[in-house]
Structure 1
Amino acid sequence: MNVNRRALNAYGQSDLEHQIDTASPHRLICLLYDGAIKAVAMAKVQMENHLVAAKGASISKAISIVEDGLRVALDKSVGGELADNLESLYDYISYRLLVANVNNDPEALDEVAKLLSELREAWESIGNAATQNNGASNESESPLELNREKKATLSYGRI
């Protein structure tokens, strides 16, 4: 049984590495959200099963993804007020994760999971809209104009 689990973990890791290697910058942000959401879900299960060390590790992973992934990817020079608002929201999410860990508060984890899911959905819809706009763009537009439009739409970060 342990051998099967290691094989599945190895497959999952190589699949994730492949996704990262081939992902667009937009897709990378989605993968970060997915990782944070998964870590929060794992932390809730671990909390319910009184697995203190594992819960702490999962919450730390979620905080790390938010702080070292999503926040670092923000580009305030391009994102402006939206980037500032996202940074404030990431501060709040990290704080709520810390509170959830210290107080064993599953409601805080639920709140964070909901926020991250809503952000991920919004980010995904932005990408879908940008893809549709680029596919239906006017052929008379120059590549420079198209690039400006794409950059304005997908101005999340530095990735």
Structure 2
Amino acid sequence: MNPMRALRQYQKVNSHAQISEASPHRLVQMLMEGGLDRLAQAKGAMSRGDVAQKGLMLGKAIEIISGLREGLDPEKVEDPTSIKRLDELYAYMTSRLVEANSGNDAQMIDEVAGLLITVKSGWDAIAAEAAN
């Protein structure tokens, strides 16, 4: 058996196990982590001149951000305007990634990664508060 294939299979099984055991809060964290990973992979592909891989990874990052956006529920928060602002931020991130892909612009990818890191930091802080 190919060792790389075996490793990928193990990682797939391991990630499925993590997903099945994760709380909804942890699932959002995992999505954000996955989005950041795809952005880093897209930048790497861009620097190597691998246009197909860059497009694939940016597409996956856009799908993840779209999933985060679809998961927003203004009925579950005290301040629905905060959800509206987050929705607008996710829409902005998506449009910037489309621009980054067509313009081959690594700075736009960095901008979106920075925004996603900021959102993730807030999300991580909520988990820390809930644990205390």
Please give the range of the TM-score, normalised by the shorter of the 2 chains.
Answer: over 0.9
In structure 2, give the amino acid aligned to 1:40.
L
Q: Percent identity?
A: 38
In the alignment, the residues of structure 1 paired with residue 34 and residue 109 of structure 2 have an alpha-carbon distance, to the nearest angstrom, of 14
In structure 1, give the amino acid aligned to 2:102.
V
- TM-score, reference length from structure 1: 0.79
- Aligned positions of 1:30-109 closer than 5 A: 30-67=29-66, 69-79=67-77, 80-109=80-109
In structure 1, give the amino acid aligned to 2:76.
V
1:4 to 2:34 alignment: no
RMSD: 1.2
In the alignment, the residues of structure 2 paired with residue 127 and residue 97 of structure 1 have an alpha-carbon distance, to the nearest angstrom, of 28
Which 4+ residue blocks in structure 1 deviate beyond 2 angstroms?
none
- TM-score, reference length from structure 2: 0.94
What's the CA shift for 1:116? 1.0
Bigger Rg over Cα: 1
In the alignment, the residues of structure 1 paired with residue 82 and residue 105 of structure 2 have an alpha-carbon distance, to the nearest angstrom, of 29
In the alignment, the residues of structure 1 paired with residue 116 and residue 9 of structure 2 have an alpha-carbon distance, to the nearest angstrom, of 27
Aligned residues: 130
What's the CA shift for 1:78? 2.2
In the alignment, the residues of structure 2 paired with residue 12 and residue 111 of structure 1 have an alpha-carbon distance, to the nearest angstrom, of 29
- 1:118 corresponds to: 118
What's the CA shift for 1:114? 1.1
- 1:127 corresponds to: 127
In the alignment, the residues of structure 1 paired with residue 7 and residue 94 of structure 2 have an alpha-carbon distance, to the nearest angstrom, of 30
What's the CA shift for 1:130? 1.5
In structure 2, give the amino acid aligned to 1:76.
P
In the alignment, the residues of structure 2 paired with residue 46 and residue 3 of structure 1 have an alpha-carbon distance, to the nearest angstrom, of 24
In the alignment, the residues of structure 2 paired with residue 6 and residue 119 of structure 1 have an alpha-carbon distance, to the nearest angstrom, of 34
What's the CA shift for 1:113? 1.0
In the alignment, the residues of structure 1 paired with residue 107 and residue 3 of structure 2 have an alpha-carbon distance, to the nearest angstrom, of 34
In the alignment, the residues of structure 1 paired with residue 102 and residue 11 of structure 2 have an alpha-carbon distance, to the nearest angstrom, of 30
What's the CA shift for 1:72? 1.1
What's the CA shift for 1:38? 0.5
State the SS of the aligned residue for 1:74: coil
In structure 2, give the amino acid aligned to 1:104.
N
What's the CA shift for 1:66? 0.6
Where in structure 1 are there 5+ consecutive unaligned residues?
A: 133-159
